[in-house]
Amino acid sequence: METFAELGLKEEVNKALEDLGFVKPTPIQEKAIPHLLTSESDLVALAQTGTGKTAAFSLPIVNQLDENERSVQAFILSPTRELCLQIAKDIEKFTKYQRKIKTIAVYGGARIDTQIKQLLAGGQIVVGTPGRVCDMIRRKKLDLSNIKWVVLDEADEMLSMGFKDELDFILETTPEEKQTLLFSATMPREIARIAKKYMTDPLEIAAGEKNIGAKNVNHVYYTVQQRNKYQALKRIADVNPDIYSIVFCRTRRETQEVADNLIRDGYSADALHGDLSQAQRDVVMRKLRSKHLQILVATDVAARGIDVDNLTHVINYTLPDQVESYTHRSGRTGRAGNKGTSIVIVTSREVYKIRQIEKKIGKEFEKGMIPKGRDICETRLISMIENLKKVEVDEENINEFLPGIYEKLEDLSKEDVIKKFVSVEFNKILAYYRGARDLNESDGRGRDRDRNGRDRDRGDRRSRDRDDRRGRDREDRGDRRDRNSGVEFARFHINVGQKNNLNPARLMGMINEIPSVSKVEIGQIEIFKKFTFFDVDANLKSEISEALSGMDFEGTSIVIEPVKERPKTTTSRRGDRKDRSDRGGYNKSRSGRGGGGDRAKRAKDNFRKKRRR
């Protein structure tokens, strides 16, 4: 492996890297930097999260910038403000000795007038998020017409978050003559579409294989009942006393609830999600990086841009909607040569998703058992003793107190002292876990294996057999109240589905981008081949219906309709079985006289008459 000094970077850049302690490039840096220094051709670079992608694209750019030209020469697009800020800070470190180079971060959640002033003052590099960048372009405050480099960082994540339209709009404002760099951890179909549409014969490089998990990460799953998920999480934390982890949840509400429960139960925890202000997020991130937090509970979107090398665990409290997102999550542990563990807590009905992830990442999951109370107590006691042995004794200051201590303990044996010492530390945890029940649930894998050992998960088979015909039967739910959150939901039907490349993340992205809506609660999402059902806060149903109606999605104009509770009808069992293929409406042949039941009776009577003859 070459050193950075051998890659051909200028003296000022190498000096900044030396100050940062950078000596040898990572595999993706070793492949990307020489190409970008010597070629103007486009580049698609595939590498896992935490492999040094920022330096791979920014070092060649800052090496070639015209420092005397104040207009925007390089534009970097990232999915979230955390990642945007992280990239901007890294570039500022790389340009420490190139004082004329200015980097501007443009992102939502901060004062737009301040960012406008920075853009008007001029800068060679702009790092931005899709929503705020589109706003700046429309306001004519950001001009990308003369840029030489466009970088799409975490491009797969931008698409999974529903930023396809923004991405198209931004790229259409850039000049044809430029170098486009696309960096991604995975290579879904939409990334290939972007590369085909906006790039010219790009060179593709990869550090490792496409879409695989990091080599230093061990993958484990636990099967529990839904109501026991939080207790399982606590036991996993308790059996790992030195845990330093991110716990991933699907929604902002769930994220805050889990974090609040952990804090209430005495854990060093906090939440990171979209409802926090930028100042609050900064405080949480400072606590995490300084290890004043052991457990950070976060959504996928909020966790983008977190750059922490020594996380011991990533815990999937709920699985993401897209398999690719699991790769991003698990890639946050096992960095910088360290070992890490990615844990998934699932119900028995979700085990089939583990099989899907295994195929995608090319690794098998270990089936873990939620520790029992005795296991946790033993682990914590041993950990305490190990830490006790490492304590340094200040002989000079403690010696004067020892005679009095010895006198107080002289009537106790060595064994009694140890027992009492342990009891002081562990009476509470021993009492808590005394008689604790087993939380493990069978996932049925043993029963569902055929003679060749191939896994045949029953839930997976059933889910493949059910599709649109089951979906139509759910129309009768109408408006209802979620038992857990207390939010009353309204259900909608839209005319786009899987064949239009709709997924839950893109749908949530469309809803969250509606200007008149903020902090909307989104409930169940059910996506079928040609249509979709979804639940949203009933208080905002008018705004959401109006905003989505007529919106263009992949060339289809969205038609949105509220789902109303349909009237109940009485039907014969035979008629109901016969009409299962048309659950979206009513079969007139069984709704009144002359239906299927009467025809069967007449046929039976005619047969009897013939026999009498």
pLDDT for 590 beyond 50? no
Residue position matching structure tokens 């709009």:
169
Torsion, CA 130, CA 131, CA 133, CA 136, rounded to 10: 170
Asked if residue 486 has pLDDT above 60, the reply is: no
Contact 183, 155 (CB under 8 A): yes
> Residue 206 carries which DSSP code?
E
Please, what are the domains in the chain? 4-206 (3.40.50.300), 217-370 (3.40.50.300), 374-433 (no CATH), 466-562 (3.30.70.330), 573-612 (no CATH)
| Per-residue pLDDT at 567 exceeds 50 | no
Lowest-confidence segment of 108-112, 237-241, 362-366, 368-372 by average pLDDT: 108-112
pTM for the whole thing? Answer: 0.55
Contact at 8 Å (CB) between 492 and 562?
Answer: yes
CB 116 within 8 A of CB 136: yes
Tens digit of each residue's pLDDT (9 = 90 or more) over 85-118: 889 999 999 999 999 999 999 998 788 999 999 9
The whole-angstrom separation of Cα 272 and Cα 120 is 32
Mean pLDDT (the chain) is 80
What is the DSSP track for 147-207?
-SEEEEETHHHHHHTT-HHHHHHHHHTS-SSSEEEEEES---HHHHHHHHHH-SS-EEEES
- The burial class, CB within 10 Å (0-12 / 13-18 / 19+), for 237 is buried
Max Cα-Cα span within the chain: 121
The type of residue at 463 is: S
Banded pLDDT at 456 (limits 50, 70, 90): very low
pLDDT confidence tier of residue 224, bands split at 50, 70 and 90: very high
The pLDDT value given to residue 610: 53
Query: Of 94, 30, 75, which Cα lies nearest the Cα of 178?
Result: 75
Amino acid identity, residue 394? D
pLDDT for 169 equals 92
Element (H, E) at 55: helix 53-64
Cβ pair 191, 184 in contact under 8 A = yes
Cα separation, 572 vs 587, in Å, equals 12
- The whole-angstrom separation of Cα 59 and Cα 125 is 12
Q: What is the pLDDT of residue 443?
A: 66
Give percent helix, percent strand, percent coil of the chain, each to the nearest 5.
45, 15, 40
**Amino acid residing at 562:** P
Cα–Cα distance measured from residue 148 to residue 61, given in angstroms and rounded to the nearest whole number: 9
Q: How does residue 387 score in pLDDT terms, banded at 50, 70 and 90?
A: confident
Q: Taking each helix axis from N to C terminus, what angle separates 252-264 and 229-238, rounded to the nearest 10 degrees?
A: 50
Over the Cα atoms of the chain, what is R_g?
30
Count of all residues that appear for the chain in the document = 613
Alpha helices in 204-349 (DSSP H): 229-238, 252-264, 278-289, 300-303, 323-330
Q: Please check whether residue 297 is in contact with residue 247, taking contact to mean a CB–CB distance below 8 angstroms.
A: yes
The two structure tokens encoding residue 529: 């081949």
For residues 578 and 427, the model is more confident at 427
Q: Which residue has 């999937």 as its token pair?
A: 316
User: How far, in Å, CA of 168 to CA of 190, rounded?
Assistant: 12
- Taking the C-alpha atoms of residue 613 and residue 611, their distance in angstroms, rounded to an integer, is 5
Query: Given pLDDT bands bounded at 50, 70 and 90, which one contains residue 185?
Result: confident
Query: How far is it, in rounded angstroms, from Cα 354 to Cα 213?
Result: 13
**CB-CB contact of 223 with 443 (8 Å):** yes
Of residues 227, 240, 254, the one with CA closest to residue 441: 227
Residue 452, pLDDT > 80, answer no
Q: How far apart are CA 237 and CA 312, in angstroms?
A: 11
Q: According to the model, what pLDDT value does residue 604 have?
A: 55
State which amino acid sits at residue 38. T
Is the confidence at residue 440, as pLDDT, over 70?
yes
User: Which of 118-122, 253-257, 573-577 is the least confident region?
Assistant: 573-577
Token pair belonging to 283: 């405080």
CA atoms lying within 13 Å on the CB side of residue 222 = 27
- Say yes or no to pLDDT of 16 above 90: yes
- Which pLDDT band, with edges at 50, 70 and 90, does 580 fall under? very low
**Which of 62-76, 116-130, 385-399 shows the lowest per-residue confidence on average (mean pLDDT)?**
385-399
How far out from the chain centre does Cα 122 lie? 35
pLDDT score recorded for residue 134: 93
3-state DSSP assignment of residue 73: coil
Contacts of 588 (CB under 8 A, 6+ apart): 595
The pLDDT of residue 193 is above 90: no
pLDDT at site 588: 36
Q: Which residue has the tokens 């010492």?
A: 421
pLDDT band at 566 (very low <50, low <70, confident <90, very high): very low
Write out pLDDT tens, residues 108-163: 878 899 999 999 999 999 999 999 999 999 999 999 988 999 999 887 778 767 78
What pLDDT was estimated at residue 127? 96
The vertex-231 CA angle with 371 and 427, nearest 5°, equals 70
Least confident of 91-95, 513-517, 569-573: 569-573
How many Å separate Cα 16 from the centre of its chain?
33
User: Which of 240-249, 574-583, 588-597 bottoms out in mean pLDDT, i.e. has the lowest?
Assistant: 574-583
At what angle are helices 53-64 and 27-38 packed, to 10 degrees?
20
SS (HEC) of 426-483: HHHHHHHHCCCCCCCCCCCCCCCECCCCCECCHHHHHHHHCCHHHHHHHHHHCCEECC
Q: Which residues contact 125 (CB under 8 A, 6 or more apart)?
A: 61, 62, 65, 72, 73, 74, 75, 76, 91, 101, 102, 103, 104
The helix-helix angle for 504-512 and 541-548 (nearest 10°) equals 110
DSSP state of 6: G
Cα(23)–Cα(516) distance, rounded to whole angstroms? 50
How does residue 266 score in pLDDT terms, banded at 50, 70 and 90? Answer: confident
**Which strand (E) or helix (H) includes residue 544?**
helix 541-548
180 has which bridge partners? 150
Percent of the chain with pLDDT over 70: 81
